[in-house]
Amino acid sequence: RRAAVLAFPFNGGQGREGVELGGMHLVEHGILEQLKEMEWETSFEPNEDIDTFRPSSDPDIEGLKKPRFVSSVTKRVAEQVSTAAKAGDFVVTLGGDHSLAMGTVSGVFEAYPDACLIWIDAHADINTPSTTDSGNMHGCPISFVMGIAGDIPEFAWIKKCLLPERLVYIGLRDVDPAEKKILKDNGIKAFSMHHVDKYGIGKVVEMALDHVNPNRDRPIHLSFDVDALDPSVAPSTGTPVRGGLTFREGHYICEALAETGLLVAADIMEVNPALEDEQAVFQTVQVGCSLTRCCLGETLL
């Protein structure tokens, strides 16, 4: 099997410098060699030219920050992801901030229209231009691919590709009031940390799959924001929230999805090597690599 690893050194969906370095840190930590060792034929696209997508002027649109930059970069993401997915490659996207998922989801669903999306995050990232308090587009990607963001000409390239019933969350614990309403109004299934505590991660993953993939016949796209993990496990990330997934719970999710044989794409997002100390960065980069390997089938035995 072939894996296409795409890194996007992009931070325009949020306000903190450093998240653009996340992907290259995973590569420097050896993720490409690790996948080759697991007998994946691996290609790598570093997208070092991403800054050339930055427009000279990029005023806010409906309160959204850097909207044109986010739009042009995520359009490129969508093209690369769909090309690789259509070629039959497993697509690994290394962020970068989570606004990149506007592109990864668009690309995966272009190649696999009947796919489902499993979103692992402390946050719901489903704010619309009218609900976002921060204006940071990493808090909004799902509203765009679901077609509930309203019509903004700059984002006209994004197709409404994700149905509410094809999305499930695990790990939520910091959801804005307006996002809670969106989840409720659209009947979107979400397993918060409360549910992980109550049922255990094994049952939660099973229930999540039963919801989005009842017959276990749909391709799966996993979008993993490392801030889903507890800050003690993944400290170097821009919006940490305490009370998160343990090291094993995070890995279990990836292992269980890989085990279905249906996983076609995985995003590893929001590693920020500019935050916290050297030990924290090492820990976060290392966990990013091991989650990626689990997605590609690494097992404990």
- Binding to ligand ARG (CB under 6 A) within 147-186 occurs at 176
Q: Order across the sheet with 116-120: list the strands.
A: 41-45, 2-7, 90-94, 263-269, 220-225, 116-120, 167-172, 189-192
Number of residue whose CB is nearest ligand ARG: 139
Based on the shown chain and the rule CB under 6 A, indicate whether residue 267 belongs to the binding site for ligand ARG. Answer: no
Among 20, 89, 97, 121, binds Mn ion (CB under 5 A): 121
* DSSP percent split of the chain into helix, strand, coil, nearest 5: 45, 15, 40
Report the nearest approach of ligand ARG to the CB of residue 86 (Å): 27
Q: Which is nearer to ligand ARG, 112 or 224 (CB)?
A: 224
Based on the shown chain and the rule CB under 5 A, indicate whether residue 120 belongs to the binding site for Mn ion. Answer: no
When CB distances are held under 5 to 8 angstroms depending on the partner's kind, the choice from ligand ARG, Mn ion, none that residue 71 binds is: none
Cα separation, 18 vs 10, in Å, equals 9
- Binding to ligand ARG (CB under 6 A) within 112-141 occurs at 123, 125, 127, 132, 134, 136, 138-139
- Binding to ligand ARG (CB under 6 A) within 216-245 occurs at 225, 227, 239
* 104, 131 Cβ separation under 8 angstroms: no
* 111, 161 Cβ separation under 8 angstroms: no
When CB distances are held under 5 to 8 angstroms depending on the partner's kind, the choice from ligand ARG, Mn ion, none that residue 127 binds is: ligand ARG
Instruction: Give the start-end residues of each E strand in 47-100.
Output: 90-94
Based on the shown chain and the rule CB under 6 A, indicate whether residue 83 belongs to the binding site for ligand ARG. Answer: no
For 135, list phi and psi in degrees, rounded to 5: 75, 0
Using DSSP, how many helices (H) and how many strands (E) does the chain show? 10, 8
Cα separation, 79 vs 265, in Å, equals 14
Interacting residue ranges for ligand ARG, rule: CB under 6 A:
98, 123, 125, 127, 132, 134, 136, 138-139, 176, 225, 227, 239, 270
Q: Which residues bind Mn ion (CB under 5 A)?
A: 98, 121-123, 125, 133, 176, 225, 227
